[in-house]
Amino acid sequence: MAEFALHCFPQSGNAYKVALFLSLAGADWAPIVVDYFGGETRTSKWRETVNEMGEVPVLEHQGQKLSQSGIILDYLSEHFGVFGRKTPEKKREIWRWVLFDNHKFTSYFATHRWLRSFAVPLGHPEVLAFLRNRADGALAIVEKHLTGRSFLVGEGPTIADVSLLGYLYFPVAETGYDLSASHPQIYAWTRRAAALPGWRPPYQLLTGLPTERLAQG
C-alpha cells in the first residue's frame, strides 16, 4: 500500500494540485478515483466517511484525512521539506498567493471551465461571461506579478506555484484559454514548471492507473 492515498477524479484541478506536488516530490502515492459524475461525493456515506465538504482532494496519510488543497500542500511541503520557504515573511507570502488562488482565481477559472465543458446542462452564457471576466482579472494580476520573476515567491517553485498552476495544465479545449497568445509571462511560467523533474499533465496523474513513478518504485 502506498504511503499517501489521494481521493480524486481526473477532471479535478484541485486534486491535480496535490497529485502534482506528490509527483514532483517523488512521493509514494496512489490515487483513489471517486465516481464524481455518478454522484459518489454527494452521497451521505461519502460525506460521513471521507469529507463532509463533499469535495476532492482528500489526502490520507498516517491515519489522517486532509481536505482543501491549500492546507494539504502546506502539510506536504512541511513533510517533505520542499517547495516552501524558511522565513515567516516568505511563508506568509506563499499563503497570500495560495489564498488568492482559492478566492480569486480557481473559484472562477475552474468553475468557468466546468460550466463550459462538463456541466449538465452547460452554463448560461451570462454566467460564463461573468466567470471569465473574473478569471481574466485574476490572470492579469498574476501576469504582472510574474514580469521579471521566474516563480511567484522568491527563487524557485513553491506550493503557491503548484496551487495557481494546477488548472492551467488542462487542455485549451476545456478551459477556453490559450495562454500562449494572451499571457506570455504566465505561459512561460507554465513551461518552466513543466520542465521540473516529476512533472506530469493532469490526465496522466489522475487516471487511477499506477503512475510511472510507482511502477519504477
- For the chain, what is the largest distance between any 2 Cα atoms, rounded to a whole number of angstroms? 49
Does the protein bind a copy of itself through residue 31 (CB under 8 A)?
Answer: no
Comparison of 95 and 199: residue with beta carbon closer to a copy of itself = 95
Among 105, 106, 97, 98, residue whose Cα is nearest residue 13? 106
Question: Which residues have C-beta within 8 Å of that of residue 52, sequence separation ≥ 6?
Answer: none
Among 26, 17, 3, 32, residue whose Cα is nearest residue 216? 26
Comparison of 12 and 69: residue with beta carbon closer to a copy of itself = 69
Name which position in 10, 30, 68, 187 contacts a copy of itself (CB under 8 A).
68
Q: Smallest gap, in angstroms, from Cβ of residue 213 to a copy of itself?
A: 26
| Size, binding site for a copy of itself by CB under 8 A | 35
Residues 80-139 that bind a copy of itself (CB under 8 A): 89, 92, 95-96, 99-100, 102-104, 106-108, 111, 123-124, 126-127, 130, 134
> What is the distance between the alpha carbons of residues 74 and 42, in angstroms, rounded to a whole number?
27
Comparison of 64 and 216: residue with beta carbon closer to a copy of itself = 64
Q: Which stretch binds a copy of itself (CB under 8 A): 52-60, 168-176, 179-187, 204-212?
A: 52-60
Residue with cell 481536505: 67
Q: Smallest gap, in angstroms, from Cβ of residue 205 to a copy of itself?
A: 21
Q: How far is CA 160 from the centre of its chain?
A: 10
Q: Smallest gap, in angstroms, from Cβ of residue 180 to a copy of itself?
A: 24
Give the footprint of a copy of itself on this chain (CB under 8 A). Answer: 52-55, 64, 66-71, 74-75, 89, 92, 95-96, 99-100, 102-104, 106-108, 111, 123-124, 126-127, 130, 134, 141, 144-145
